[in-house]
Structure 1
Amino acid sequence: MSIAILGSGHMGPIIARVAAEAGYDVSIANSGDPRNIELIAQVLAPGATAKWAADAVRDADIVVLSLPVHRFPELDPDLVAGKLVIDSMNYWPPVDGVQEMFEDGRRGSSEIVAARLANSTIVKTLNHLGYHELDEDRNTGRALGVAGDDTTATKTVAELIERIGYDAVLLDSLADGRLLEPGGPVFGARLTRAGFEAAIEKARLS
């Protein structure tokens, strides 16, 4: 299975590296010439190949959005049409500033992403831990949530989460991805599966 990472900032190269180490065929791209990120790939994501975004996505079974959220409006929805897309982005106004696209309080950020990428299948995960933790916390029993509306897609992404060294907790819907966002009960929390499930259930009851 092949994975394309869109985004070469803090998180993207780490996702690329842990996925490559888990045996996936991984490419990484940003909005420009792949020669500009070849050194990043070599140093931070050995095993991943820098490509043009269109080439990376065309060959991928899974596409990971690891863009700064303010760059998301620049993404052409046609680029990822028909693809299984992991949304690992966060909307966090104290960091990102106010982004009008994400100011709809009725929907979580991944629901907004899904509405814009209507021809893609969106699953939310990998957004609720830090980029340094993604490497450090592998195989420690830490749980990560996986939220989506498509059962097959969610299970596929859960398998990825398990393969890179985490316990996947499947949430019922993409709307439940709001529980994974900044300010949610599990954002930034190092929790085992039992603790993660308990925190989610407590938040739902309240």
Structure 2
Amino acid sequence: MTTIGFIGAGHIGSQVARTAIEAGHDVVMSNSRGPETLAALIADLGPRARAATATEAATEGDIVVVTVPLKAYRDVPVEPLAGKIVIDTNNYYRERDGDIAVLDAEEQTVSGLLQQHLPESRVVKAFNHITASDITSDRSPAGTDDRRALAIAGDDDDARRAVADLLDSFGFDAVDVGQLSESWRVERDQPAYGARENARELRASILLAERNKNSR
């Protein structure tokens, strides 16, 4: 059993938390508005969930999921995440996040920005190309025909393997994209984004990805 901390408790965070609880983990939920605003969610998630501050969730989580709007990534606490696996679910939405020059110029990736902010953490991109409701509704046991696959990317090999194992326990195959520098291949406007694909199909979509400057 692992404790998974959540920095962000919106659509993606709450659904990943439900899946984590069903897989036997405890969760510590946080948001930008304070633990008291999470009472309804915690009641719904049940006794394996509790509300906390972002710093507490970062401190108590063995693995921590960061699922905040990209424009707020610099608010993620740094010190309590040192040495930990941090799962980043984010995408760049200019209409929400404003213009981010290094992303528009394709000089950096979304998760690469979080890794820069958390230099002693092991950031792994995951859950960014699936809609929130599918996280709980489109899972299946290992070995199931046409099992849905999700991509992961990260600069630490052991962290990627750990997240791949976590995804498997949640009900998904993992397809390893490689380093964070390649994580753009499953971001917004790419073939894999939002598509319901098995591992073979997802690998094919990853290979079809193309850089399109300033198209986001």
Per the TM superposition, whether the score is higher than 0.5 is yes
132-141 or 115-124, larger mean C-alpha shift:
132-141
For the 8 Å contact 1:13–1:41, the answer to whether it is kept is no
Q: Secondary structure at the match of 2:107?
A: coil
- Which of 157, 175, 183 aligns to 1:177? It is 183
1:54 aligns with 2:60: no
Deviation, 1:103, is: 4.2
C-alpha distance in 1 between matches for 2:157 and 2:11: 29
Sequence identity (%)? 33
When residues 49 and 104 of structure 1 are mapped into structure 2, their CA distance, relative to the original with a 3 A threshold, is farther
Counterpart of 2:214? none
Unmatched 5+ residue regions in structure 2? 141-145, 211-216
- Which of 160, 163, 171 aligns to 1:165? It is 171
C-alpha distance in 2 between matches for 1:90 and 1:7: 14
Aligned residues: 203
C-alpha distance in 1 between matches for 2:147 and 2:36: 37
Q: Secondary structure at the match of 1:89?
A: coil
The AA in structure 2 aligned to 1:127 is N
Unmatched 5+ residue regions in structure 1? none
For the 8 Å contact 1:22–1:163, the answer to whether it is kept is yes
The AA in structure 1 aligned to 2:118 is L
Counterpart of 2:31? 30
Counterpart of 1:203? 209
73-82 or 9-18, larger mean C-alpha shift:
73-82
When residues 100 and 198 of structure 1 are mapped into structure 2, their CA distance, relative to the original with a 3 A threshold, is closer
Counterpart of 1:148? 154
1:86-105 equivalence runs, <5 A:
86-99=87-100, 102-105=103-106
Counterpart of 1:14? 15
Counterpart of 1:138? 139
98-107 or 15-24, larger mean C-alpha shift:
98-107
Counterpart of 1:40? 41
For the 8 Å contact 1:4–1:28, the answer to whether it is kept is yes
